[in-house]
Amino acid sequence: MKNIIPPSLRKYLQMSKRERKYEMQSTLWYMPLLYVSSSVVLVVLTLILDLTLDIEQYTPDILHIDEDITRMLVSTLIGGILTLSAFTLNSLLVVLTTFSGQFSPRMLLNFVADKRTQHALGVFNGSFVYVLLVFLFIGSTQLEFFVAVPITTIFLAFLTAMTFIYFINHATTWMQVHNITNTMKENSQKIIRETLSEDLEVFRAASPGDLMKDQQEEFITITAFKNGYIQLADYRAMIQKAREDNIILQFHVRTGDFILKGNRLFSYWGPGAEEVDIKNYTKLIQIGHKELELQDIHMGMNKLAEIAIKSLGNNDPKTAVTTIHQMAELMLAVEDYITFTPYLKDKNEQVRVILVKETFESYLYRGFGLIRYYAKNDFIILTEIIGSMKRLAGSLDQSKHEVLWEFSSNILEQVDPYQSYRLDLRFMLDSLHQLSEVTGYEEEYKKIEASLTH
């Protein structure tokens, strides 16, 4: 059966349930297909009401529509609905082209996967299929009057017209910078709250505990079985299986990393290491040809950073500033929902999986590092980055103050005072001074100020 199914559909059978849901919701045909299926059911229902149940006997005369008028109405609306669908498709292509050129090609998926976009396309396709099928059936009937068919057709025409206006408004609203950046941020926050918390945080262990160091020297290394990106890992099942086998697994790559066949994937050791069936673990790790956001918060951060970088190239500093603000808000979610410990424990408090260690500093660099690099001598953007570090310092624990200070002070250390305007330098120093007051690095600030104003 799998060989009969086209490759474009066969791939969905080979996906995990979680990835299949993600991929189907990110395609343009999924929601319209549901609407088309519903329209077929609606065709059957309305024809039964008119042709079998003789609904005109139970309705007022004002609702009775002559056969010729009904046929003319349906045939006219076929062209009208198709025209609106064509305009909608054209608008969709314009939006996608704008996104790709002005912001980031990786954002196309977000607009396509938006439920409002998919529902609008579903209404157009479902309505068109309804009037087309009804037109085929009513032409061969001898019924003098119709009720359900013309009323439903008029309703769908009205719904289609309203949906067209709604879609145009949705597209123009979605393209506004503050809505784009806010959507990217909310998607990343959703991944942190719902995905990472469910997959990882419930198993986090603050301390390593017993790492079975007596057997650790006899570890066995497993290499990647194919090329691609680490897309998903079923940590819950992996921890359960490791508990049954009485071993500890240590990953050498993160979710989202690109890996080649033969590269180190993970190692394991423990009393049961000799009897492990490694296929039970490799099937829990999904490697594919593209990156997925399901467990990779870094990808969401890169999208936001790309918007800022693109805006800098398009001489649009306001967009970059808005993106920096959204990135700062995302960093708060990272601190609130992610525990920076690599140890995952089972229900008996025994560590079973060790991840590649990540720090708050690594997330900070992923979020602001690229923007800082491409901003270069754009002192307005650099000053805004330092200002965001000050706001973060006021909201985060003191343990993060050193990282925030070092990231910001490095910006000033690369500034050439002879290549900057006096006010640009003054405002940057003022922003850094405010950060030093919050983080307690006033003395270090004085040294930087002295080196730039001597």
Higher pLDDT, 178 or 117: 117
Residue 365 has pLDDT above 70, yes or no: yes
My answer on whether 268 and 402 are in the same domain is no
Q: Which burial class, exposed, middle or buried, applies to 30 when counting CB atoms under 10 A from its CB (0-12, 13-18, 19+)?
A: middle
> What does the pLDDT read at residue 286?
87
Answer whether 249's CB lies under 8 Å from 231's CB: no
Task: Tell me: pLDDT of 203 over 70.
Answer: yes
The residue segments making up the domain with residue 316 are 201-362
Q: pLDDT: is 451 or 265 the higher one?
A: 265
Domain with 269 in it: what CATH number?
A: 3.90.1170.30
Same domain, yes or no: 316 and 339: yes
What pLDDT does 179 receive? Answer: 77
pLDDT band at 100 (very low <50, low <70, confident <90, very high): low
Residues 139-156: what's their mean pLDDT? 78
For 226-235, 285-294, 383-392, which range has the lowest pLDDT when averaged over its residues? 285-294
Q: Are residues 148 and 21 in the same domain?
A: yes
Separation of alpha carbons 366 and 361, rounded Å:
9
The reply to whether 226 and 345 lie within a common domain is: yes
Residues 340 and 382 in one domain: no
Helices (H), 115-261: 115-138, 148-174, 177-190, 197-199, 213-216, 235-245
Residue at 1 is within a domain: no
8-state DSSP, 399: G
Both 285 and 217 in one domain: the answer is yes
Counting the structural domains of the chain, the total is 3
Instruction: Clarify whether residues 329 and 380 are in a common domain.
Output: no
189 found inside a domain? no
pLDDT at 157 over 90: no
Residue 380's alpha-carbon distances to 63, 308, 372, in angstroms, are 66, 13, 11
How confident is the model at residue 233, as a pLDDT?
A: 87
Q: Are residues 156 and 56 in the same domain?
A: yes
Q: What is the pTM for the complete model shown?
A: 0.75
Residues 353 and 407 in one domain: no
346 lies in some domain: yes
Q: Are residues 411 and 454 in the same domain?
A: yes
**Comparing 393 with 335, which gets the higher pLDDT?**
393
Token pair, residue 420, equals 């900057």
Are 28 and 94 in the same domain?
A: yes
